[in-house]
């Protein structure tokens, strides 16, 4: 049990399959990571906007790094994710991804912006676009 959520109050709604937590504290291995006065999430298979599992790590090039992705359910066929990421040896990075899916086509696009303290330039950018279309 690496990840754990503590709350002062927890409301479970069986009709809507949702959980509301008041004064929620996200912990990783007993270390407090994130506090929120209100958190809600579903316990079924339906997609719902909200925070995804944060990541923590370390590399020799970037140093300590942590990211907290936020998922946005735009429609039944599209979604987006926005991820602020901190790299102790490089600076702040913002990542964004948009995905879509249809019977005849699908695709995703992403952008990353890094305020790189290592590079001579003030900001570094990365763009990716992928689209697949079924021809019949």
Nearest to 43 by CA among 82, 5, 81: 5
Q: Binning pLDDT at 50, 70 and 90, where does residue 95 land?
A: very high
Over residues 96-127, the pLDDT tens digits come to 999 999 999 999 999 999 987 766 667 889 99
Question: At which residue do the structure tokens 């719902």 appear?
Answer: 48
CB atoms within 10 A of CB 43: 11
Pairwise pLDDT comparison (44 vs 88), residue with the higher score: 88
Over residues 70-84, the pLDDT tens digits come to 999 999 999 999 999
* DSSP assigned state of 8: S
- pTM of structure: 0.71
**Residue 90: exposure state from Cβ atoms within 10 A (0-12, 13-18, ≥19):** buried
Separation of first and last alpha carbons in the chain: 49
Distances (CA, A) of 21 to 17, 35, 73: 13, 11, 21
């Amino acid at each position: 049990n690496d990840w754990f959520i503590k709350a002062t109050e927890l409301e479970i709604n069986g009709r809507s399959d949702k959980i509301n937590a008041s004064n929620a504290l996200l912990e990783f291995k007993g270390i407090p990571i994130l506090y929120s006065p209100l958190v809600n999430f579903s316990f079924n298979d339906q997609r719902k906007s909200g925070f995804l599992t944060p990541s923590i790590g370390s590399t020799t090039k970037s140093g300590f790094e942590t990211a907290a992705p936020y998922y946005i359910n735009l429609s039944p066929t599209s979604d987006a994710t926005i991820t602020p990421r901190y790299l102790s040896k490089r600076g702040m990075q913002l990542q964004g991804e948009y995905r879509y899916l249809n019977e005849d086509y699908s695709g995703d696009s992403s952008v990353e912006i890094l305020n790189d303290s290592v590079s001579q330039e003030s900001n570094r950018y990365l763009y990716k676009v992928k689209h697949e279309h079924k021809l019949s």
